A and B are shown apart, each in its own frame.
Chain A
Amino acid sequence: MKAVLIHYGKLLGSSFLLLLVVITILFALLEAAPGDPVQSLVGDAPVSEQFREQLVAAYGLDRSVVERYFIYMGSVLTGDLGTSFTTQTPVLDRILGRLGNTLALAIPATVISTLGGIILGVIAARTRNPLLDTGISGGAVGMFSIPNFWLGLMLIAIFSVQLGWLPAQGTASYGQSGIALEHMVLPLITLVTSQFAYNIRVMRSSMIESLGQDFVDTARSKGLSYRQIVWRHGMPNAMLPMITITGYGVGLILAGSVLVERVFGWPGMGLLLVESINNNDTLVVLGVAIVITVCILIANILTDIVYGLADPRLRARFRPKGSES
């Protein structure tokens, strides 16, 4: 039990450290940003002299860089991301209002790209048909060479404009709330593509390595069917790199969703980020970056837990001595 606690303690510690580094980088960027800090906080809106003084006092702009750094760090860590200048509401509320829509795309995208990647990767690895293998592998290179936002535009041009099969914009028909399934199809395809392709390649090479191991010969000499060897013995042993990749993939999907949300007018965090960049609403820009980082870190911690469950060698290490039954 103790080893488990130490392991997860370390994991939480390093995740927290990573968050601190991200906040530090964001603060440094804010400091390095050219122009008047008050103006870049407010954006394009005009600033009255009185308001300027208020801001200078509120953000401690008359203090030293080090002091400001600790003030910023403190307020972010206590969940205060500041006030949005375009809507005069707390930044955190604006972001959390959008978080659900982003996750509604990101979570299915992660699941689909992982499962699809595993299946096609295994098929490409075990096939004796060089055409199928080359087709899948080459197709994967093609899929992660496509700029995903362009793929989205082309899907809209074909399926929404030309054929009229699927809606092009938003989460639901005009005037309705919630998320309609047919509105999700095109954004999901767009978001999934590159991660899916990457997963295929990782799974393929991991599976080839797995199928070359001695236990496969053992399984074959036991007289197991080829299907059983591949899916019951080969695949589980090829899964570990996939779990790691899925952890990183969540981050890439969240980053990619910025572009996809922009293409499909999907009101998630990414669209908020783009809108805020265009409005120079700097605190929201920083806030979205911080919230996405937190999401990524949570995904990484979950990945590590799954990794621990999936790898029997780690389970054995965590088991207290003398309790092996």
Chain B
Amino acid sequence: MSHGAVPKITQTGGNRPKQQTWKVYLRKPAVVIFLTLLVIMVLVSFIGPNFVGSPFSTAHAPLQAPGGANPLGTDHLGRDYLARVVYGGRTSLLVGFTVALLCMTVGLLVGGLAGFYGGVVDTLLVKVAEFFQVIPGLLLALVAAALLGSNVTIIIGILAVTMWPVVARIARAEAMRIAELGYVESARAAGFSRFRIFWSDAVPNAMPPVLVATTMTVGLAILLESGLAFLGIGDANRPSWGALLNLAQPYITSAWWLAAIPGLCIFIVVLAVNMLGDALNDVLNPNIGKVK
């Protein structure tokens, strides 16, 4: 499948003030293009369902090509494909963003605590992260979803369980680095409790690389979910883009658009998310990746 390509991060922020970092980020041409694309896809997927017809109504002629009464054509049962793609996007994006949010929360807390405090939790986390690095998430998710059943909640849960260690590993490395820094030492000298220091110093300062990893997680989660749905493991009541591809495969010779459109949607969203994550990484680490 694919990877959360999270480049190595050794230092963050450069010397720029925070607000300026965001300004630089938002002015990058790649960010302008892909953020616009992503916002459009999100708006269409979450507001769009109010404007298109029912994705389940079989009122139209089957296998109509795009154009005419149905802008994206119709599927083999005569359902309006635009409605199905818009509703499918809602499921795909919902899964992607929820999984990433869960991964960020759990990863930041567990990884941060493990890196900041060290000890048994840290050793355990390293082992767990190593395990998930060796055994691909797609394989575990596939078997788990096949055995446990597959509604949206279960799929989100399974994906979050297989993907959080990626974020946790990065949060851990950051927290370990921060725990050695001067401001932590002075906070300790000032008499703050360790947890207070963790919460108000380590967590916010570990955020930038964690944010990059989380962005990548969105794309990977959408790819994994669509892969599972393509194999027929998904919520039958909420067909995602992957599920549309599963249904489209038998018609690849006669109705290519059934496969082309949902796949293109997945590609655009994942590409946008990865590009935004990449650009964020570049802004946060201006010195990395330049030839001297």
Contact = CB atoms under 8 A, between A and B. Distances in A.
Interface of A: 18, 21-22, 25-26, 29-30, 32-34, 40, 125-126, 128, 138, 141-142, 144-150, 153-154, 156-157, 161, 194, 198, 201, 204-205, 208, 211-212, 248, 251-252, 254-256, 258-259, 262-263, 273-274, 277-278, 282, 285-286, 289, 292-293, 296-297, 300
Given A147-B266, A282-B147, 16 more contacts: A26-B143, A29-B143, A29-B144, A147-B242, A147-B267, A153-B248, A154-B263, A198-B5, A205-B7, A251-B134, A251-B136, A251-B139, A259-B1, A259-B230, A263-B249, A285-B143
A147 B143 contact: no
Given A18-B131, A157-B259, A149 B227 contact: yes
B260 interface: yes
Interface string B255-266: 010011011001
B135 A296 contact: yes
Contacts of A157: 252-253, 256, 259-260
B219 interface: yes
A282 B147 CA distance: 8
Question: Binding site of A, secondary structure by majority: helix, strand, loop or mixed?
Answer: helix
Interface of B: 1-3, 5, 7-8, 131, 133-140, 142-144, 146-149, 219, 223, 226-227, 230-233, 242, 245, 248-249, 252-253, 256, 259-260, 262-263, 266-267, 270-271, 274-275, 278, 288-292
B46 to A, nearest CB: 21
B222 to A, nearest CB: 9
Contacts, number: 159
Contacts of B288: 205
B281 to A, nearest CB: 11
A300 B134 contact: yes
B278 A141 contact: yes
B175 to A, nearest CB: 23
B7 A125 contact: no
B2 A144 contact: yes
